[in-house]
Amino acid sequence: MFTVYPAIDLRHGVVVRLVQGDPNRQTTYATDPVVVARRWHSEGAAWIHVINLDGSFGDEAGAAANRAALRVICDLGVAHVQTGGGMRTIDDVRAAFAAGAARVVIGTAAVEDPRVVEQALDEFGAEAICVGLDSKDGMIVTRGWQHDTKIMASELGLRMKEMGVKHALYTEVGRDGLLKGAAAELTGALAQLTGLQVIASGGVGSLADINELLLYHRFGVSGVVTGKALYEGRLALADALAAANAMDSSPA
């Protein structure tokens, strides 16, 4: 199955998008994330991707507002919620599940404290945990994409696979928010190399980008997160879902 995840990126409780993760390059798209969540559900989304940007940046005041919004979105019960941003401790992960999330994305902690991933897998199971493989030119970045590392995305992916991780979210940061196309070939290669089910993120600008990612489904590309293209009317969620459903229903 190939899943399309419409994104709700939260900053101080409102729906925004950043360019290449830069907090100074922000566009606000909606003040009420619950209205947006209802919209994506009404257009057919089975999953919604909710990110606490302030959690990633270490802004506790904003993160608290985003956590409150997450709980309300989950309480709607209209779609499964995959969430991430600032999941640095096992208590952060537990709180996200307590709020109603179906899956939690762990990024920075996978690098800085892999025991968080181990404990999360033990407590919640592999289907409920996703590791964030955020990278610039193939090298992992952490803490809201503000800190560089010398770890290759494929290297971290292999480590996580060995620990029992099944799902990964791969973002090529240089493409994020630019609407110039997803890193489809890189995503496919990462999935094939690591054996992870990899969700693509960053750069989707049109239905053609969705269709290109679908070509790599057989290698383990399991879905795509898209935000800006939806908010700016460059991509209709219904069209993306239809493309994914057509692929899922086609003969092997």
For CA atoms 222, 54, 34, 209, the dihedral sign is negative
Which residue, 134, 101, 122, 200, is CA-closest to 164? 122
**Phi and psi at residue 4, to the nearest 5°:** -100, 120
Given the residues 54, 59, 134, 176, select the one marked as catalytic.
Answer: 134
Given the residues 9, 54, 176, 209, select the one marked as catalytic.
Answer: 9
Strand partners, 140: 135
Please, what is the end-to-end C-alpha distance for the chain in angstroms?
A: 12
In the residue annotation, 134 being an active-site residue is answered as yes
Burial class (CB in 10 A: 0-12, 13-18, 19+), 244: buried
**Catalytic center residues:** 9, 134
